[in-house]
């Protein structure tokens, strides 16, 4: 006879609840499943709207990647980050105003460097770069301030644990036996487990190019946008994937797949690589030497040893600085912290299998760091430099100073009421019913490491396509009504693989968490399915709460408003970008809000296309805008596509622009009603700059 279980119905008002207590039936208006940044922000918004909310977290630590090592925030354009997400970064700023926050570095010596923005925005009272423990404190403060109950280490029973009445979730049960009843549910996990268990459609892997009419989806053999491939090594030296170089019969090195990479642009089951965002330091009193994993096998890193033999030495490129002489350390190069190809089954795997995958990632990455710091196969100069670094002793103190969250860059993606694709992000198609904005580069890490037909090793799947700020549709947060009418999904949103490459940034997850919770609460207020809520009413509430739903160009400082110049002016924000362009405002004047640079890549993978619709056919003078400097390319490649052909020219961007210190004339050309100028970094000998193109009728 099974043991009887006491069931108690509780409506929580505050505090964190231990999952080890008596099994209970928990009830609230909004049940949030997940411990991510989106989960906490969603619960806060529900409380702000007068509703009860419970956070059911599989994790002990709150905040997901934001508190799990990703302190070098992928902001994109911070102007589109509003609402509670911006409040989070304001709270981080407040923490660093305290003198006691600066333990291993003086505040005035902090470099204030961020990703596409300054780390500290004093005018806006925000801070975008931070230590893991500071982020976690902010999330815990939010939970305390809003008196939100959190149950930790509570794992959804994925096998029959979700109870539905028609298309509505009634409750779900966790493995501990706890039951959670609500009127609305929010799946804010990286994996989308509640969504899947509720019978909502989803996709894993890359769609083929033709599914949504995208250029950058599917297998991308031959596309090498970043430096995370084997063409990035000096002289593009080829590396053999075989144990005995050049001998296929000797076997294949670890971390190289023997499978065919697939037909270009075809869909597949593969997802982009995962890693841990390590928090490292070179402060001796706070440094823990890299541990040697129990299952350490130096043969796992033979490929890396061969890469070092070519003279490649960029292993420290992504030691991005955060306060107190620490780093947020990310993947960089042909073989780095990304455990490529080791995660394909993670999105839908059992909890047991996921633990195995996580452990493999830990062993791979810990072994990698130990190898570089200690192996005689590593050049002495690099080995000695790595020995100056180690894990930060005051971070992740209950996990041997190792991050508690694996970077799940992509898992399930819902197939919902509206699917976001690169076409919306690149403004080829309009986005309906905006509930927030993204702006970060469309960014996919590698998905596989394969053997080329010539017998060499190569990576595939790394994509970097610049985009201007774009809207995110309400329908991408909502399942189809027939599948579930009281569920919101702000993390595993309805999008294609390549669109998710930009949407997947932590500030965006917080934005969508707030907007999703707002929709859920307003649907409760009106006793509606969340899909039936009036968008106009939702929009009004979101704007009232500070969400940014559309991007308004605000030209300030040294920026020149392109709308006030004669002719047709296309700013860089309206260009179609390929490759990892970054914004900057370090020169004395520019068009619009900023100009773009290619990061001195010199790889032929960055391009900016300026398309203009002219008022009438005829002759126009074409001018190209850039900001000069001694580190610029002297041979920036520019193409003018006109009625009579294509003019290809090279611009010396070291020299000042002769027209108003902004423009150089490319000449006069005949056009129909369409005109195009393309700027590339092919063969560049310095930074390539793009700021805008002007068409003046003659």
- With a cut of 90, say whether residue 330 has pLDDT above it: yes
Buried b / exposed e over 324-358, threshold 16 CB at 10 Å, is bbbbbbbbbbbbbbbbbbebbebbbbeeeebeebb
Per-residue pLDDT, averaged over 477-500, amounts to 98
DSSP-derived 3-state class of residue 485: coil
Residue 10 has pLDDT above 60, yes or no: no
CA atoms of 593 and 584, how far apart (whole Å): 9
Domain end (from 361, 392, 423): 392
Listed in sequence order, the DSSP H helices in 427-534 are: 497-503, 506-525
Split at pLDDT 50, 70, 90, the class of 360 is very high
8-state DSSP, 116: S
For residue 612, list its beta bridge partners: 675
The C-alpha atoms of residue 486 and residue 75 are separated, in whole angstroms, by: 31
**CA 326 – CA 391 distance, rounded (Å):** 9
Distance separating alpha carbons of residues 511 and 501, to the nearest angstrom: 16
Residue 633 belongs to a domain with what CATH number?
Answer: 2.60.120.260
φ/ψ region of 406 (left if φ > 0, alpha if ψ in -120 to 50, else beta) reads beta
Q: Is residue 573 part of a domain?
A: yes
Distances 295 to 55, 364, 365 between C-alpha atoms, Å: 36, 9, 12
Per DSSP, the three-state class of 211 is: coil
pLDDT single digits (tens) 629-666: 999 999 999 999 999 999 999 999 999 999 999 999 99
pTM of the entire predicted model:
0.87
DSSP, collapsed to helix, strand or coil, labels residue 450 as: strand
pLDDT of the residue at 465: 85
Residue 288 lies in a domain: yes
Angle at 410 between CA 408 and CA 414, to 5 degrees: 130
Please identify, among 392, 409, 424, the residue that sits at the C-terminal boundary of a domain. 392
* DSSP, res 348: G
The pLDDT score that the predictor gives to residue 583 is 78
Lowest mean pLDDT: which of 149-163, 206-220, 550-564?
Answer: 550-564
The stretch 469-475 carries a mean pLDDT of 97
Instruction: Single out the residue of 187, 153, 165, 142 nearest to residue 48, CA to CA.
Output: 142
Give the residue from 354, 375, 392 where a domain finishes: 392
Domain total for the chain?
2
Is 469 part of a structural domain of the chain? no
User: What pLDDT is attached to residue 154?
Assistant: 98
Say whether pLDDT at 264 is over 80. yes
Following DSSP, what letter does each residue of 14-28 receive, concatenated? SSEE-TTS---EEEE
pLDDT at 599 over 90: no
Q: Rounded distance, CA 342 to CA 283, Å?
A: 33
**What span, in angstroms and rounded, lies between the C-alpha atoms of 86 and 125?**
10
Residue 551, pLDDT above cutoff 80: yes
Percent of the chain topping pLDDT 70:
96
Contacts of 525 (CB under 8 A, 6+ apart): none
Is 150 within a domain? no
Which residue do the tokens 């810990």 mark?
366
Q: Which domain holds residue 604?
A: 559-697
Least confident piece of the model among 15-19, 168-172, 538-542: 15-19
* 243 domain-assigned: no
Name the token pair of 537.
């009413």
What confidence category does residue 6 fall into, taking pLDDT thresholds of 50, 70 and 90? Answer: very low
Q: Which of 446-450, 490-494, 582-586 has the lowest mean pLDDT?
A: 582-586
pLDDT in tens, 64-106: 999 999 999 988 888 899 999 999 999 999 999 999 999 999 9
Tell me the angle at which helices 535-544 and 506-525 cross, rounded to the nearest 10 degrees.
120
Check whether 19 has a pLDDT greater than 80. Answer: no
Q: Contact 300/367 with Cβ under 8 angstroms? A: yes
Over the chain, what is the mean pLDDT? 93
Rg (CA), the chain: 26
Find out whether 462 and 232 touch, Cβ atoms under 8 Å. Answer: no
**459: in domain:** no
pLDDT band at 1 (very low <50, low <70, confident <90, very high): very low
C-alpha to C-alpha distances, 85 to 45, 78, 328, 507, 553, nearest whole angstrom = 11, 10, 20, 6, 20
Contact in structure between 545 and 527 (CB atoms under 8 Å)? no
The percentage of the chain sitting over the pLDDT mark of 90, rounded to a whole number, equals 85
Tell me the DSSP string of 157-206.
-TTT-EEEETTEEEEEEBTTS-EEEEEEEEE--SS-HHHHHTT--EE-SB
In-domain check, residue 387 = yes
Within a domain: residue 117? no
Question: What 3 state SS string does 562-585 have?
Answer: HHHCCCEEEEHHHCEEEECCEEEC
């Amino acid at each position: 006879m099974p043991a009887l279980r006491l069931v108690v119905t509780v409506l929580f008002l505050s505090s964190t609840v231990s999952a080890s207590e008596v099994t209970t039936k928990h009830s609230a208006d909004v049940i949030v499943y997940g411990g991510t940044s989106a989960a906490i922000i969603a619960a806060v918004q529900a409380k702000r709207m007068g509703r009860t909310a419970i956070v059911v977290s599989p994790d002990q630590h709150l905040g997901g990647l934001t508190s799990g090592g990703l302190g070098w925030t992928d902001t994109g354009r911070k102007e589109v980050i509003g609402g509670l997400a911006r409040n989070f970064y304001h709270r981080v700023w407040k923490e660093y105003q305290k003198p006691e926050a600066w333990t291993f570095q003086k505040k005035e010596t902090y470099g204030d460097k961020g990703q596409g923005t300054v780390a500290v925005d004093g005018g806006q009272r925000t801070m975008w770069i931070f230590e893991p423990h500071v982020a976690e404190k902010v999330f815990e403060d939010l939970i305390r301030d809003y008196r939100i109950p959190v149950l930790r280490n509570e794992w959804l029973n994925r096998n029959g644990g979700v109870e539905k009445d028609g298309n509505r979730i009634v409750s779900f049960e966790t493995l501990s036996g706890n039951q959670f009843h609500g009127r609305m549910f929010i799946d804010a996990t990286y994996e989308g487990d509640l969504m899947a268990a509720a019978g909502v459609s989803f996709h894993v892997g890359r769609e083929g190019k033709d599914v949504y009419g995208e250029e950058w989806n599917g297998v991308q053999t031959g596309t090498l946008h970043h430096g995370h491939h084997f063409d990035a090594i000096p002289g593009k030296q080829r590396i053999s994937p075989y144990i005995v170089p050049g001998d296929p019969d000797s076997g294949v090195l670890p971390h190289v797949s023997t499978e065919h990479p697939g037909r270009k642009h075809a869909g597949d089951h593969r997802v982009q690589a995962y890693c841990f965002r390590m928090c490292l330091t070179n402060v001796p009193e706070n440094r823990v030497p890299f541990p040697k994993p129990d299952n350490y096998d130096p043969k796992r890193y033979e490929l890396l040893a061969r890469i070092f033999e070519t003279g490649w030495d960029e292993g420290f490129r992504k030691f991005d600085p955060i306060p107190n002489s620490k780093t947020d350390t990310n993947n960089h190069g042909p073989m780095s912290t990304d455990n490529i190809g080791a995660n394909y089954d993670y999105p839908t795997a059992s909890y047991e299998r996921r633990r195995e995958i996580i452990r493999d990632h830990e062993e791979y990455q810990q072994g990698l760091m130990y190898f570089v710091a200690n192996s005689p196969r590593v050049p002495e100069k690099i080995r000695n430099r790595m020995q100056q670094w180690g894990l930060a002793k005051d971070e992740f103190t209950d996990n041997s100073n190792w991050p508690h969250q694996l970077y799940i860059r992509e898992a399930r993606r819902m197939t919902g009421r509206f699917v976001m694709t690169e076409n919306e992000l690149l403004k080829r198609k309009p986005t309906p019913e905006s509930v927030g904005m993204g702006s970060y580069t469309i960014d996919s890490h590698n998905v596989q490491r394969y053997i080329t037909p010539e017998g060499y090793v190569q990576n595939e799947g790394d994509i970097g396509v610049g985009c201007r700020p774009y809207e995110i549709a309400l329908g991408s947060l909502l399942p189809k009504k027939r599948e579930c009418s009281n569920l919101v999904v702000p993390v595993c949103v309805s999008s294609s693989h390549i669109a998710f490459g930009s949407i997947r940034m932590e500030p965006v997850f917080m934005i969508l968490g707030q907007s999703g919770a707002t929709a859920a609460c307003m649907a409760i207020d009106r006793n509606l399915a969340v899909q039936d809520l009036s968008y106009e009413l939702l929009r009004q509430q979101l704007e009232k709460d500070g969400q940014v739903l559309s991007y308004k160009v605000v030209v300030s400082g040294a920026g020149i408003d392109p709308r006030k110049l004669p002719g047709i002016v296309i700013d860089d924000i309206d260009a179609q970008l390929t490759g990892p362009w970054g914004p900057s405002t370090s020169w004395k004047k520019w068009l619009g809000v900023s100009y773009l640079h290619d990061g001195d890549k010199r790889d032929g993978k960055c391009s900016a296309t300026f398309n203009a619709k002219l008022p009438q056919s005829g002759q126009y003078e074409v001018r190209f805008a850039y900001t000069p400097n001694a580190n610029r390319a002297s041979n920036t490649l520019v193409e003018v596509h006109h009625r009579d052909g294509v003019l290809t020219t090279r611009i010396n961007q070291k020299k000042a622009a002769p027209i108003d210190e902004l423009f150089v004339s490319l000449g006069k050309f005949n056009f129909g009603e369409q005109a195009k100028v393309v700027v590339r970094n092919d063969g560049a000998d310095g930074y390539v700059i793009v700021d805008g193109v002007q068409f003046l009728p003659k």
